[in-house]
């Protein structure tokens, strides 16, 4: 009896092992079959999207386009108006690069021009339509930003015509606020958003019946204007400081509330640490004994970049000098008395 059970055990172990082995192999085979299929699906989707977008880009991605008249078999070439031109590379480099044109635009846009005029009146989705209430994007605080934009001079002065898209280009928008490659590039990128209207009277007039005020004249009080505009964003002086959770303050204030005091930035409690250098500042506070070390890497801001140790040394020297004079005076006084 004992012998047979031992024998059956001997048979059972290899049978069990080989069954497990076969199961494992077939499972991993099925997995490895699955993976490329998924990858392929993804690629297919990408190819379809690219193909669809390319059809629109044959006109909108070029400086000129051609139209064909079936009746007369005639082809004509026209320039693409610059406001309808979309930089293909910038589109695919943007945050929303995974989109088809028809994700936002009507599917009724056809591959011929001119398009049906009715389509111009179609409502476009706003940032909030897609991102509002979505926990995945909670860290961007879209709702709070919308509240701030509603209170800003632009909505107050231009009504709803002034949407998020006026500053954030729908086709090339790129989220860069949190990890910019360099502060100078970030400043240039940001200020270009404002200058699109504030240094272009045609774009400005699309929003207002009045002509655009001359910016250079309005900022004459600021010395080295060009240098300042390369180192700070317009929003540093023109928005209300918002709480830290919102990445970028959005409430643009009327001009009489703009920052004019030099010490707002040129001091150890520089406003720049709560705005432009907010993210860098969190990483490194007062490095190497410098006040606002984060700023120092990019700019020398008079008043904001004093060195802590140099401050201590200069105070010590001052105390020594005053002390020296005091002792000197006492010695002279007592020696005089003795004489």
Judged by CB under 6 A, the chain residues 17 through 36 that form the site for ligand HEC are: none
Given candidates 60, 273, 281, 290, which one binds ligand HEC under the rule CB under 6 A?
A: 60
Binds ligand HEC (CB under 6 A): choice among 13, 23, 47, 124:
124
Q: How far is the CB of 273 from ligand HEC (least distance, A)?
A: 11
One residue of 5, 28, 93, 95 binding ligand HEC per CB under 6 A:
95
Taking CB under 6 A as the rule, does residue 179 contact ligand HEC? no
167 scored as a contact of ligand HEC (CB under 6 A): yes
Q: Where are the beta strands (DSSP E) in the chain?
A: 64-69, 74-79
Give whichever of 226 and 327 is closer to ligand HEC, judged by the CB atom.
226
Say whether residue 133 binds ligand HEC (CB under 6 A): no
Asked whether position 208 contacts ligand HEC by CB under 6 A, the answer is: yes
In the bound state with ligand HEC, the residue whose beta carbon lies nearer, of 3 and 63, is: 63
Q: Does 54 bind ligand HEC (CB under 6 A)?
A: no
3-state helix, strand, coil in the chain (%, to 5): 60, 5, 35
From residue 54, give the alpha-carbon distance in Å to each of 7, 69, 100, 196: 71, 22, 10, 27
Q: Is 224 a binder of ligand HEC (CB under 6 A)?
A: yes
Kindly state whether residue 292 participates in binding ligand HEC, applying the rule CB under 6 A: no
* 173 scored as a contact of ligand HEC (CB under 6 A): yes
Which among 15-23, 29-37, 169-177, 331-339 is the span making contact with ligand HEC, rule CB under 6 A? 169-177
For residues 186 and 308, which CB has a smaller minimum distance to ligand HEC in the complex? 186
| C-alpha dihedral (326, 331, 334, 336), degrees to nearest 10 | -110
The least distance separating ligand HEC from the CB of residue 59, rounded to whole angstroms, comes to: 3
| Residue number with the smallest Cβ distance to ligand HEC | 157
Interaction between residue 90 and ligand HEC (CB under 6 A): no
CA distance 219 to 298: 23
Q: Supply 284's token pair.
A: 């490194």
Q: Nearer Cβ to ligand HEC, position 26 or 156?
A: 156
- Using CB under 6 A, pick the residue from 63, 120, 336, 338 that binds ligand HEC: 120
**Cα–Cα distance measured from residue 176 to residue 188, given in angstroms and rounded to the nearest whole number:** 12
Number of other residues whose CB lies within 10 A of the CB of residue 226:
9
Segment near ligand HEC (CB under 6 A); pick from 21-29, 38-46, 286-294, 295-303: 295-303
Beta bridge partners of 66: 77
Task: Compute CA distances 12 → 6, 8, 15, 329, whole Å.
Answer: 10, 6, 5, 107
Does an H or E element contain 327, and which?
A: helix 308-338
**Got the DSSP string for 82-124?**
GGG---HHHHHHSTTTT--HHHHS-TT--SSSSPPGGGGGPPP
**49: phi then psi, degrees, rounded to nearest 5:** -60, -50
């Amino acid at each position: 009896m004992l012998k047979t059970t031992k024998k059956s055990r001997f048979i059972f172990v290899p049978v069990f092992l080989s069954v497990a082995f076969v199961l494992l192999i077939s499972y991993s085979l099925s997995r490895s079959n699955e993976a490329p299929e998924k990858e392929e699906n993804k690629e297919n989707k990408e190819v379809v999207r690219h193909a669809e977008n390319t059809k629109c880009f044959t006109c909108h991605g070029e400086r000129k386009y051609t139209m064909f008249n079936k009746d007369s078999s005639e082809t004509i070439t026209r320039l693409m108006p610059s406001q309808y031109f979309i930089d293909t590379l910038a589109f695919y480099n943007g945050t929303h690069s995974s989109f088809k044109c028809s994700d936002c635009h009507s599917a009724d846009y056809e591959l011929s021009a001119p398009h049906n005029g009715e389509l111009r009146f179609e409502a476009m989705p706003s940032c909030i339509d897609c991102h509002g209430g979505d926990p995945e994007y909670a860290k961007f605080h879209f709702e709070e930003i919308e509240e701030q934009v509603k209170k800003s001079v632009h909505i107050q002065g231009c009504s709803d015509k002034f949407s998020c898209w006026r500053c954030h280009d729908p086709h090339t928008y790129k989220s860069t606020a949190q990890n910019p490659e360099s502060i100078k590039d970030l400043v240039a990128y940001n200020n270009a958003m404002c200058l699109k209207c504030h240094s272009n009277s045609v774009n400005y007039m699309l929003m207002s019946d009045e002509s655009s005020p001359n910016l250079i004249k309005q900022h004459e009080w600021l010395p080295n204007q060009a240098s300042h505009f390369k180192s700070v964003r317009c929003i540093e002086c023109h928005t209300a400081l918002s709480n830290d959770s919102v990445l970028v303050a959005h409430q643009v204030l009327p001009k009489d509330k703009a920052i004019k005091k030099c010490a707002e930035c040129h001091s150890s409690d520089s406003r720049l640490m709560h705005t432009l250098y907010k993210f860098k500042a969190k990483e490194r506070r007062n490095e190497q004994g410098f006040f606002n070390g984060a700023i120092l890497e990019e700019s020398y801001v008079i008043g904001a970049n004093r060195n802590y140790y140099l401050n201590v040394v200069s105070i010590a020297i001052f105390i020594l000098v005053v002390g020296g004079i005091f002792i000197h005076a006492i010695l002279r006084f007592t020696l005089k008395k003795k004489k």
